[in-house]
């Protein structure tokens, strides 16, 4: 089985396993106690904090360990906003942040705060100018991920941090996808990360708060972790997290070159062997190992199951693979196709033979799903009417897109197709289809029991 979902959770690094087992024997006592076992545990905790801080690029007393990366984000956002409540109640986030940041923003908004969601380009990157325009006198905090978890695009963190610093606004960086590859550049104010993203154990997050940043932790205070992370430290997991971070950093330069070559192979080969595919994300400014593409006329869940049967574990931002049945907010913000979406994220050590086998299997898997969905285009036959209506109400994407593709040739150039759909994904996927196929998306209109999406034939 080839595991290609490291962006969700990387396999446990061998160094993490060794450190975890050793710390279970040596680090089980309370590190706040003064007896021998407590002092030994405290030494392990201090050493782990020093190692993690060195990897982050901050002082040891600026970093605390939390119970997860999500908890680090929630605590960091809430603490920074509370610490600057006299400045104002305005928060800036990008439209493609991790759900932990999005949920923090929603909670802040529900409590009376205001939130600006900065749009992204089709590559998934924000512009520095968009953050500069979003800054206001009452801005308390800005958030920006270092690299996107779904498409791998790196963000201009250093330049955004400079703009925020000039405005006197702290910047919180979610570095979950990039910290294993290197430090986050720029004069950021707060940083969060999660150990299971770089091969450490799950249940360990990092929160770094620079000296001088106003921070007021919300909720009951605790004497542990400078009062910023309540509860008894999971010391064995913390030791394993710090040890594995140091280990992956030592391998990062060499492994990054290898994984970039493998992902470039995927980016190049997939459009050559699979028809109607769009590779998304920035082609250059991206973290190693992540490549994402969307296949027209494909149900994402069916494709993932097909690849799983062939021995490949990949993930998707398609709505049909989500418990919420809504399209990925990242793909939606980028304006790219969400259905039939595949994210391949290669863990360190991935063999080229496994990637070659994936590329050999993928065309057949996609073709099989399309055949089951009846996605073969209908014979082109121009009709005299200037508009056709496709009733796809009650049908989930990609069916509305498939039906559109079948009939677009049946209207004259300049004619329109009106697709009736009540699937939320159609709002994203029909315009994305037009972009990919060179047709004109006219717009959305209200319709009984759903919406009408109007497409004009250009060619």
**Catalytic residue numbers?**
320
Angle between helices 99-110 and 69-83 (to 10 degrees): 40
Contacts of 254 (CB under 8 A, 6+ apart): none
Task: Give Cβ neighbours of residue 6 (< 8 Å, ≥ 6 apart).
Answer: 289, 345, 346, 347, 348
- Report how far residue 217's alpha carbon sits from residue 77's, in angstroms, rounded to the nearest whole number: 10
**If residue 345 lies in a helix (H) or strand (E), which one and from where to where?**
strand 341-345
- Beta carbons of 360 and 416 less than 8 angstroms apart: no
User: Are 325 and 299 a contacting pair, CB within 8 Å?
Assistant: no
Query: What gap in Å lies between CA 215 and CA 221, rounded to an integer?
Result: 13
Strand partners, 345: 5, 290
Tokens of 226: 């400078």
92, 344, 434, 441 from 347: Cα distances, Å: 32, 10, 34, 39
User: How many Å is the maximal CA-CA distance in the chain?
Assistant: 90
Q: Give backbone dihedrals phi and psi of 319, rounded to 5 degrees, phi first.
A: -65, -30
d(CA 186, CA 203): 27
Q: Is the omega angle on the peptide bond into residue 178 within 30 degrees of 0, that is, cis? A: no
């Amino acid at each position: 089985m080839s595991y290609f979902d490291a962006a969700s959770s990387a396999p446990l690094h061998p160094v993490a396993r060794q450190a975890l087992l050793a710390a279970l024997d040596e680090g089980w006592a309370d590190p706040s106690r003064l007896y021998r076992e407590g002092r030994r545990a405290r030494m392990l905790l201090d050493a782990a904090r020093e190692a993690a801080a060195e990897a982050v690029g901050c002082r040891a007393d600026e970093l605390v360990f939390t119970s997860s990366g999500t908890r680090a984000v929630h605590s960091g956002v809430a603490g920074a906003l509370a610490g600057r409540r006299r400045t104002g109640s305005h928060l800036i986030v990008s439209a493609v942040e991790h759900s932990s940041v999005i949920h923090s923003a929603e909670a802040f908004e529900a409590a009376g705060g205001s939130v600006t969601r900065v749009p992204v380009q089709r590559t998934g990157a924000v512009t520095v100018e968009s953050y500069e325009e979003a800054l206001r006198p009452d801005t308390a905090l800005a958030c920006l991920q270092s690299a996107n978890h779904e498409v791998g695009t790196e963000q201009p963190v250093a330049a955004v941090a400079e703009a925020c610093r000039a405005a006197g606004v702290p910047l919180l960086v979610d570095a979950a996808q990039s910290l294993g590859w290197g430090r986050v550049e720029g004069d950021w104010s707060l940083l969060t990360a999660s150990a299971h993203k770089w091969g450490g154990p799950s249940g360990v997050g990092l929160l770094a708060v620079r000296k001088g940043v106003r921070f007021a932790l919300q909720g009951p205070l605790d004497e542990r972790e400078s009062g910023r992370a309540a509860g008894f430290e999971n010391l064995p997991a913390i030791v394993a997290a710090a040890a594995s971070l140091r280990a992956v950093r030592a391998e990062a330069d060499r492994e990054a070159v290898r994984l970039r070559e493998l992902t470039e192979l995927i980016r190049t080969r997939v459009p050559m062997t699979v028809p109607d595919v769009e590779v998304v994300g920035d082609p250059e400014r991206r973290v190693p190992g992540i490549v994402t593409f969307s296949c027209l006329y494909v149900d994402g869940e069916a494709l993932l199951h097909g690849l799983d049967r062939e021995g490949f574990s990949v993930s998707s931002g398609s709505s049909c693979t989500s418990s919420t049945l809504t399209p990925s907010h990242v793909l939606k913000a980028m304006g790219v196709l969400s259905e039939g979406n595949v994210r391949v994220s290669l863990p360190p050590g991935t063999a080229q033979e496994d990637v070659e086998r994936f590329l050999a299997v993928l065309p057949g898997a996609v073709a099989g799903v399309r055949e089951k969905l009846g996605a073969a285009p209908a014979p082109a036959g121009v009709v005299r009417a200037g508009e056709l209506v496709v009733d796809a109400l009650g049908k989930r994407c990609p069916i509305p897109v498939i039906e559109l593709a079948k009939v677009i040739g049946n209207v004259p150039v300049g004619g329109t197709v009106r697709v009736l759909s009540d699937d939320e994904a159609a709002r994203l996927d029909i315009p994305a289809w037009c972009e990919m196929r060179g047709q004109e998306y006219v717009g959305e209109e209200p319709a009984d029991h759903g919406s009408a999406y109007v497409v004009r034939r250009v060619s």
